[in-house]
Chains A and B, each alone.
Chain A
Amino acid sequence: MNKEDLKSIASQVRRDIVRMVSEVKSGHPGGSLGCADFLTYLYFEAMTENASNFNMDARGEDVFFLSNGHISPVWYSVLARKGYFPVPELATFRKISSRLQGHPSTDKKLPGIRMASGSLGQGLSVAIGTAETKKLNQDPTTVYTLHGDGELQEGQIWEAAMYAAANKVDNLIATIDYNGRQIDGDVDDVLSLGSLKEKWQAFGWEVLEMDGHNFENIHLTMSAAKEKTGNGKPVVVIMTTEMGMGVDFMMGTHKWHGVAPNEEQLADALGQLKETLGDY
């Protein structure tokens, strides 16, 4: 798929995100917009998966876990646009009896989701487990994860990081959404991560850095990450993004982490995200 096609999809994903959260006046647009390019690339370019016949066991398929479950709008949109479930179902986001829960869950059987997330810090452990099972099953496919940078403040992440390196879990590519912002403010002010690249290196991981809004760079970096699998080390991609990317008034601040735009703001946002494949 060429870069322009990916851009078109990502623009539609961003339209979906702001419309979903605005409709129910709740949800997390900031991080969702920031990860729209990455998740579009992952599902439409990188992963081998089976959207039309979702299978929980994922044998012979790449697997993705969203550890920072609060950015569910971007994941739901990408899954729907990829064909996991009907696009109009996006309109049910966060509404009663919907399969599109505020945070991702399995119990309403939404195709594409294999693990609940929302309580932070658990997805890396889960991914390591699935990666170990893939090894036992001699399944050569890859496990992908996405984590918030604020999420790295959770201790379980570092338990998992230590395990993966010590046990050579090398069929795993973790990605960090390094936008530097969390609910209460800048990550540096809330609880600084210090030297993030050096931390992962010290934990024994192969570390790559990526511009999360440049499809050329995403393609090169994720291809390099894939090349590095199978070499005895887990791989992490530190992805620089802008929270709220694509909507000017949501950028440069942490304030749109978990706040929905009102009708006026929605119109403004949609005016900035002109390219569409057709809204739901």
Chain B
Amino acid sequence: MEGIEILGNKDTRSGFGEGLAELGAENENVVALCADLTGSLKMNAFQNAFPERFFQVGIAEANMMGMAAGMTIGGKIPFTGTFANFSTGRVYDQIRQSIAYSQKNVKICASHAGLTLGEDGATHQILEDIGMMRMLPNMTVVVPADFNQTKQATKAIASHDGAVYLRFGRPVMPIFIKPNAVFEIGKADVIQEGSDVTIIACGHMVWKSIEAAQTLAAKGVSVELLNMHTIKPIDESAILKSAGKTKCIVTAEEHMANGGLGEAVARVLATNTPCPQEFIAVNDSFGESGKPMDLMEKYGLGASHIHDAALKAIQRKA
């Protein structure tokens, strides 16, 4: 695929860790809280460089969210770090009341999201977090695509005044966003222009979509690929512009179909210019233990599934 170059392979959580450490040096108001997962979240660099601004809260996520909300009073910009499950479902009410409703400038940073957490299984593989977070008023939801973008997004959300949910993951994946790319909250990246079908993806599924687009290109199918790194507020104009061109959509996310990116896109289409849409997402099911990429295949989130969905979407155009 033209213009797409693999720049390396890294996990998105490491992008968060690097971004946070750089933020620490640039902005003395940035503070970090972690619930006993400093290594997993790659927060060690920040912890070592700025120990007075790092708060180890122990295995007590509810207290962490409340503390983060309270720390904003007096001008701090708290970044909380734990797994996505413990960043959302476990503490939904704390986020709802003390952060979202109270309009606090807290950055909820969530690693090990989705199936690619792998072997730990369904207790830890949250697939509902995007839905929960995008339902909350005053909450911005960001799901960056690769290591570079996660680092850029980590830095960008510090400059955004308001609560943000930043979702990233565990596995090592190809890096394809340029290290000097500008990350703008709410503005989708056009990874590739095309004319037959639009694939709108977020997180790890952007790379899966690139793979699918390459296979489709070999068959003469022209794919337009949008990296919808911000789920809320969603980039309506990018969706409508692309749908106007290709007249059919595939959405791809490492998340439950209920409540996720696909439904956010569907609402934009339904209330403007409806067109066929296929959903690549987990279908009302918990995950299970296994190797990350094996799980992605088993639960219908592989490149081949995106490929097939694209062909189906094209067929459905009358």
Query: Which of chain B's residues 260-277 have a Cβ closer than 8 Å to chain A?
Result: none
Taking the complex as formed, is A2 at the interface, i.e. its CB lies under 8 A from any CB of chain B?
no
Are the CB atoms of A137 and B74 closer together than 8 Å? Answer: yes
Instruction: Choose one: B66, B68, B74; the contact of A58 (CB below 8 Å).
Output: B74
Taking the complex as formed, is A44 at the interface, i.e. its CB lies under 8 A from any CB of chain B?
no
Q: How far is the CA of A262 from the CA of B77 in the complex (A)?
A: 47
Q: Which residues of A contact B104 (CB under 8 A)?
A: 115
Q: Which residues of B contact A56 (CB under 8 A)?
A: 73
A113: nearest residue on chain B (CB-CB)?
A: B102
Q: Taking the nearest CB of chain B, how far is it from the CB of A240, in angstroms?
A: 27
Interface size on B, residues (CB 8 A): 32
B61: nearest residue on chain A (CB-CB)?
A: A159
Are the CB atoms of B101 and A116 closer together than 8 Å? Answer: yes
Using A130-B73, A133-B71, A136-B52 as known contacts, say yes or no to A162 and B102 having CB atoms under 8 A apart.
no
Are the CB atoms of A126 and B69 closer together than 8 Å? Answer: yes
Q: Taking the nearest CB of chain B, how far is it from the CB of A134, in angstroms?
A: 6
Instruction: Choose one: A116, A123, A129, A155; the contact of B71 (CB below 8 Å).
Output: A129
Are the CB atoms of B98 and A136 closer together than 8 Å? Answer: no
Q: Which residues of A contact B68 (CB under 8 A)?
A: 129
Contact pattern, B 101-138, Cβ under 8 Å of A = 1, otherwise 0: 11110000000000000000000000000000000000
Q: Which residues of B contact A127 (CB under 8 A)?
A: 70
Instruction: Choose one: B31, B64, B65; the contact of A136 (CB below 8 Å).
Output: B31
Are the CB atoms of B103 and A122 closer together than 8 Å? Answer: no
Are the CB atoms of A128 and B31 closer together than 8 Å? Answer: no
Instruction: Choose one: A116, A117, A139, A159; the contact of B60 (CB below 8 Å).
Output: A159
Q: Which residues of A contact B73 (CB under 8 A)?
A: 56-58, 63, 114-115, 129-130, 133
**Interface bin, chain A:** 35 or more
Using A115-B102, A159-B60 as known contacts, say yes or no to A133 and B65 having CB atoms under 8 A apart.
no
Q: How far is the CA of A121 from the CA of B96 in the complex (A)?
A: 14
Contact pattern, B 36-75, Cβ under 8 Å of A = 1, otherwise 0: 0000000000000000110101101011111111111111
Are the CB atoms of B94 and A118 closer together than 8 Å? Answer: no
Instruction: Choose one: B70, B93, B94, B97; the contact of A130 (CB below 8 Å).
Output: B70
Interface secondary structure of B, over-half rule = helix
Using A115-B98, A122-B98 as known contacts, say yes or no to A57 and B70 having CB atoms under 8 A apart.
no
Contact pattern, B 77-92, Cβ under 8 Å of A = 1, otherwise 0: 0100000000000000
Are the CB atoms of B97 and A116 closer together than 8 Å? Answer: yes
Are the CB atoms of B74 and A133 closer together than 8 Å? Answer: yes
Q: Which residues of B contact A189 (CB under 8 A)?
A: none
Q: Taking the nearest CB of chain A, how far is it from the CB of B81, in angstroms?
A: 15
A129: nearest residue on chain B (CB-CB)?
A: B70
Using A155-B62, A160-B63, A163-B60 as known contacts, say yes or no to A130 and B98 having CB atoms under 8 A apart.
no
Taking the complex as formed, is B76 at the interface, i.e. its CB lies under 8 A from any CB of chain A?
yes
Taking the complex as formed, is A219 at the interface, i.e. its CB lies under 8 A from any CB of chain B?
no
Are the CB atoms of A57 and B66 closer together than 8 Å? Answer: no
Q: Which residues of B contact A134 (CB under 8 A)?
A: 74
Using A116-B97, A116-B102 as known contacts, say yes or no to A130 and B71 having CB atoms under 8 A apart.
yes
Q: How far is the CA of A106 from the CA of B55 in the complex (A)?
A: 26
9 contacts between A and B (CB under 8 A): A105-B101, A115-B98, A122-B66, A124-B66, A125-B63, A130-B74, A133-B72, A159-B58, A166-B58
**Which residues of A are in contact with B by a Cβ distance under 8 Å?**
56-59, 63, 65, 105-107, 114-119, 121-134, 136-137, 139, 155-156, 159-160, 162-163, 166-167
**Which residues of B are in contact with A by a Cβ distance under 8 Å?**
31, 52-53, 55, 57-58, 60, 62-76, 78, 93-94, 96-98, 101-104
